[in-house]
Amino acid sequence: MLRPIRRALLSVSDKTGLIDFARELVTKYGVELIATGGTRKAIADAGLPVKDISELTKFPEILDGRVKTLHPAIYAGLLAKRDKPEHMSTLTEHSLPEIDLVVCNLYPFEQTVAKPGVTEAEAIENIDIGGPCMVRAAAKNFASVAIVTSPLQFKMVLSDLETNKGCTTRQLRAALASNAFSRIARYDIAIADYFASANGVDPNQLPHTLLTSFEAQQGLRYGENPHQEAAFYVEPNINRPCVSTAEQLHGKELSYNNILDLDSALNLAREFAGPACVVVKHNNPCGAAVSAKLVDAFNAAWDGDPLSAFGGIIAFNRPVDADTASALMDPKAKRFVECVIAPDYEPHALDALKKWKENVRLLRTGELTGGPQGLDYRRVDGGLLVQTRDTGADNPDSWKCVTKRQPTEAEWHALHFAWFVCKHVKSNAIVLAKDTRVVGVGAGQMSRVVSVEIAVKKAGENSKGSVLASDAFFPFPDNVHAAAAAGVTAIIQPGGSVKDKDSIEACDQHGIAMLFTGVRHFRH
């Protein structure tokens, strides 16, 4: 059903596009404008006729503007059903005008609390009361009233008015109402999150009722497969360095699988204090290394499994320098990579990489500080699995050697490195490493010993003298025997199997040192 716009109430914090929109309403459709405070002043200063809201309510704004729209004269004009004679008679009896359009985008609470050092007083003063009430009232009566909550909606409203000679369609009003209720929900979640944080509630604590709010950042060409639709949604006002806030500097648009792999690669790269490089393929690291120089870390990571690295994702935990970029672009290597993500790029390195491949995606995160934060979600049919993130559980000082032979200092450093790589490999996970570089990975197998066999096959001759990390305990000693046959000299695993004794005896039999961490790192 078409509804004419004769009178509009405007009360906005974000005045982007406001004057042009108001001018169209007045000059093209003769709409009467009513506005509050700063909104009224902005419209009047532009030379447009506008009434102050107090002319409608016959009551001034009070309490420093805290009370201005909470008045029956406003809500009667918003909520009256135009097709109900009793409602219309009430408006006539009390000389209350109908309001056909509301433009309200709320106080900028989210932006305010995102500022460093914001005080509680500042935050509370930016909690809008009248705005959400007015938005909800207009949205509830969408059969007659149009509610605009974002400057991005001005264009579609004007287009609807143009097409329908000053009227809006029910379809548009319903869509605007849906967006309005969604906006109010996100606003309330932001306020609830602020109060939780301000009162010391741990963001990693599992809540009784889970409130989530994510905003669409970009549409994606498709999901994991071409027949699936997809988009990338991010937490509002997130400002920590991660895939969600990374700036794309070059290359074609990201895909669903790119984003998954970038997140995995970056989260592993940031585990290490020294210059590190990680190569990820199909959400598993196929190469990883730490070295004194970033270029050496890159070369060692790529050499971990050059075959799998083809078409992979590369993550660095240091700015990419000219030497590293040159090694990546080496024409003899004929490398193909989908994406590179790093804290930054030296100017010459960035220029060279942009010229190297037209489609390679280059992303910049800014300096990496800390690790992933907040709760970890995974959707299942009809529900949501929620857990705290797999961070902070490891304490190398508590690792225990359970074999007769202690690991050498070199083996200990290699075991430490392999353990943190293994944490990021799909279960059942096995990682072989030498020094601080991966030489073989076995991932995602139903049998742990098969993961050992795959890692050994990937490593080839490099398995001799390597160390092995397992994300969970060995159920049987066959894993140890397979590792020993490949030349593994030391093992790190959580321990906790009923057959731990058998695995320890097998290690002693082969002269292998083994550490128990007491921590499991399944990744399904």
**C-alpha angle 291/296/301, rounded to 5°?**
85
Catalytic residues: 140, 282
Do 287 and 400 share a domain, yes or no?
Answer: no
Please tell me the pTM assigned to this model: 0.83
Q: String of b and e for 18-56 (b: at least 16 CB within 10 Å)?
A: beebbebbbeebebbbbbbeebbebbeeeebebbbbeeb
> Stretch 22-28: mean pLDDT, rounded?
94
Q: Residue 224: which of 282, 311, 286 has the closest Cα?
A: 282
Which pair of tokens denotes residue 280?
């990820």
pLDDT of residue 395: 94
* Residue 488 identity (one-letter amino acid): V
What's the total number of domains in the chain? 3
Q: Partners of 104 in the beta sheet? A: 11
In a domain, 422, yes or no: yes
**What CATH number should be reported for the domain holding residue 467?**
3.40.140.20
Choose the weakest-confidence range: 128-137, 202-211, 260-269, 454-463.
202-211
Hunting for tokens 């509610």 — which residue is that?
A: 147
In a domain, 41, yes or no: yes
In a domain, 228, yes or no: no
pLDDT of residue 130: 84
Q: Residue 196: which of 179, 215, 209, 177 has the closest Cα?
A: 209
Do 48 and 177 share a domain, yes or no?
Answer: yes
pLDDT digits (tens, 9 = 90+) for 74-121: 888 888 888 878 887 887 888 888 899 999 988 888 888 888 888 888
CA distance 362 to 260: 15
Residue 425 CB coordination number (10 Å): 28
pLDDT of residue 332: 93
Q: Partners of 52 in the beta sheet? A: 35
In a domain, 20, yes or no: yes
Do 173 and 262 share a domain, yes or no?
Answer: no
**H or E, element range at 256:** helix 256-269
> Stretch 496-512: mean pLDDT, rounded?
96
Residues 6 or more apart in contact with residue 138 via CB below 8 angstroms: 78, 99, 102, 104, 145, 146, 147, 177, 180
Which pair of tokens denotes residue 360?
């390679």
The verdict on whether omega for the bond into residue 462 sits within 30 degrees of 0, i.e. cis, is: no
pLDDT of residue 238: 83
Q: Is pLDDT of 510 > 90? A: yes
Do 404 and 317 share a domain, yes or no?
Answer: no
Q: Which residue has the higher pLDDT, 280 or 213?
A: 280
Q: Residue 9: which of 88, 109, 97 has the closest Cα?
A: 97
Angle between helices 478-486 and 448-459 (to 10 degrees): 10
- The length of the chain, given as a count of residues: 524
Do 129 and 273 share a domain, yes or no?
Answer: no
Do 350 and 492 share a domain, yes or no?
Answer: no
Do 418 and 483 share a domain, yes or no?
Answer: yes
* HSE value, Cβ hemisphere, 13 Å, CA-based, for 331: 2
**What CATH number should be reported for the domain holding residue 148?**
3.40.50.1380
> Exposed/middle/buried for 124, CB within 10 Å: 0-12, 13-18, 19+?
middle
Q: Residue 340: which of 266, 287, 267, 276 has the closest Cα?
A: 266
pLDDT-derived band at 209, boundaries 50, 70, 90: confident
pLDDT digits (tens, 9 = 90+) for 30-75: 999 999 888 999 999 999 999 988 888 777 776 776 666 677 778 8
pLDDT-derived band at 26, boundaries 50, 70, 90: very high
In a domain, 203, yes or no: no
Do 503 and 418 share a domain, yes or no?
Answer: yes
In the listed set 364, 381, 411, which residue is the last one of a domain according to the structure? 364
CA distance 142 to 175: 9
pLDDT-derived band at 451, boundaries 50, 70, 90: very high
In a domain, 299, yes or no: yes
* Measured distance between the N- and C-terminal CA atoms of the chain, rounded to whole angstroms: 51
**Which residue range(s) make up the domain with 484?**
396-516
In the listed set 317, 348, 364, which residue is the last one of a domain according to the structure? 364
Do 194 and 85 share a domain, yes or no?
Answer: yes
**C-alpha angle 350/352/356, rounded to 5°?**
115
In the listed set 198, 223, 253, which residue is the last one of a domain according to the structure? 198
pLDDT digits (tens, 9 = 90+) for 452-469: 999 999 999 999 999 999
In a domain, 11, yes or no: yes
* HSE value, Cβ hemisphere, 13 Å, CA-based, for 234: 16
**H or E, element range at 286:** strand 284-290
User: What three-state secondary structure class fits 295?
Assistant: helix
Q: What is the DSSP string of 20-72?
A: HHHHHHHHHH-PEEEE-HHHHHHHHHTT---EEHHHHHSS--BTTTTBSS-SH
CA distance 329 to 447: 38
Percentage, residues of the chain above pLDDT 90:
73
pLDDT of residue 68: 66
What is residue 345's DSSP assignment? B
Do 416 and 497 share a domain, yes or no?
Answer: yes
Do 84 and 150 share a domain, yes or no?
Answer: yes
Hunting for tokens 């056909």 — which residue is that?
A: 100
Q: String of b and e for 396-413 (b: at least 16 CB within 10 Å)?
A: eeebeebbebebeeebbb
| Beta strand pairing call for 7-11 and 101-104 | parallel
Do 292 and 185 share a domain, yes or no?
Answer: no
In a domain, 76, yes or no: yes
Residues 6 or more apart in contact with residue 363 via CB below 8 angstroms: 243, 246, 247, 248, 249, 262, 339, 340, 341, 342
pLDDT of residue 82: 82
Q: Which residue has the higher pLDDT, 178 or 71?
A: 178
